[in-house]
C-alpha cells in the first residue's frame, strides 16, 4: 500500500498542470474564433484523479510511491472534444509540436477501436511545469475524441458502474452497434462539411471570375 504523507502537496503539480493546459488549449480555441476560423478544439475538460482512485490503481499495478510519478500517466487527465474526426488528428499534431509538452506514447483507438467499441486518441506526455524549485516534468494523459465518441463513452462508462463492470452480453452487443452508428454519424458529418467547403470554394472562384454578382 502506497503511503503519501501530504496529499495536497503531492497533487498540487497535477492540479497546476491540468489548469494550465486547459487555459492554454482554450486560448487556442479563442484565437481560431477571433480569426473567424473553424477551431479543431470544441471543448476541454480536465480532472485530477481522486486519492481513492490513485490508491486503487497503485495496488492493481503494484506500484511503489517513487514509481507513481513515472508510471501512473492518468493522474492528470485532459479530455478534448472535437466536432469532426479530422480535427482529432490536427489536435494531435498541435500537441506534438508544442514546446511545453513532450509526448511519449500515442494510442490510436480511432483507427483501432477497442473490443468494447470505444474510440478515442490517447496521448501520454510530460508537461513542463514551472515551479519555485525549477521545471518539473509532470506526467499526464490526454484523450481526444469527437462529440459523438464522447457521448458514447460517457453512456458506456455509466453502464460499467450500473453493472459493476459486468455488462450483459446483449447490452455489450448493442453498445458495439451504437459505437458503429456514432462513427457512421461522424463520417457523414465530415462528408457534409467537405461538400459545403467545396461548394463555397466553387462560389468564390466564380465570384472572382466575375461570373456572379
Is 71 in the active site? Answer: no
140 touches ligand 0O2 by CB under 6 A: no
CB of 170 to ligand 0O2, least distance (A): 17
Using rule CB under 6 A, residue 157 touches ligand 0O2: yes
Among residues 141, 180, 188, 198, the one annotated as catalytic is 141
Q: Answer yes or no: are the C-beta atoms of 145 and 108 closer than 8 Å.
A: no
Distance between CA atoms of residues 98 and 125, nearest Å = 11
Q: Is residue 122 involved in binding ligand 0O2 (CB under 6 A)?
A: yes
Contacts of 140 (CB under 8 A, 6+ apart): 14, 17, 18, 21, 73, 74, 75, 76, 77, 78, 124, 125, 126, 127
Binding segment toward ligand 0O2, per CB under 6 A, in 1-9, 36-44, 152-160, 178-186? 152-160
C-alpha dihedral over 79, 81, 82, 83, to 10 degrees?
170
Total binding residues for ligand 0O2 by CB under 6 A?
Answer: 9
Other Cβ atoms within 10 Å of 10 Cβ, number: 16
Distance of closest approach, residue 114 Cβ to ligand 0O2, in angstroms: 5
Measured from the CB atom, the residue of 83 and 122 that comes closer to ligand 0O2 is 122
Per-residue binding string, ligand 0O2, 76-115, x by CB under 6 A, is: -------------------------------x------x-
Cite the active site residues. Answer: 141
Which residues in this chain contact ligand 0O2 in the complex, by CB under 6 A?
A: 74, 107, 114, 116, 118, 122, 153, 156-157
Amino acid at each position: 500500500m502506497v503511503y503519501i504523507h501530504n496529499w495536497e502537496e503531492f497533487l498540487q503539480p497535477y492540479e497546476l498542470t491540468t489548469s494550465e493546459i486547459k487555459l492554454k488549449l482554450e486560448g487556442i480555441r479563442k484565437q481560431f474564433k477571433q480569426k473567424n476560423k473553424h477551431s479543431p478544439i470544441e471543448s476541454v475538460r480536465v480532472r485530477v484523479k481522486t486519492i481513492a482512485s490513485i490508491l486503487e490503481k497503485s495496488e492493481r499495478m503494484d506500484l511503489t510511491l517513487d514509481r507513481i510519478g513515472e508510471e501512473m500517466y492518468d493522474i492528470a487527465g485532459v479530455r478534448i472534444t472535437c466536432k469532426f474526426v479530422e480535427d482529432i488528428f490536427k489536435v494531435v499534431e498541435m500537441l506534438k509540436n508544442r514546446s511545453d509538452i513532450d509526448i511519449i506514447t500515442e494510442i490510436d483507438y480511432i483507427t483501432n477501436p477497442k473490443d468494447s467499441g470505444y474510440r478515442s486518441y490517447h496521448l501520454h506526455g510530460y508537461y513542463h511545469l514551472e515551479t519555485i524549485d525549477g521545471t518539473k516534468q509532470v506526467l499526464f494523459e490526454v484523450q481526444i475524441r469527437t462529440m459523438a465518441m464522447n457521448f458514447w463513452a460517457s453512456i458506456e462508462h455509466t453502464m460499467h458502474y450500473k453493472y459493476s463492470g459486468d455488462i450483459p452480453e446483449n447490452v455489450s452487443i448493442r453498445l458495439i452497434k451504437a459505437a458503429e452508428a456514432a462513427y457512421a454519424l461522424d463520417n457523414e458529418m465530415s462528408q457534409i462539411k467537405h461538400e459545403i467547403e467545396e461548394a463555397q470554394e466553387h462560389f468564390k472562384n466564380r465570384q472572382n471570375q466575375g461570373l456572379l454578382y
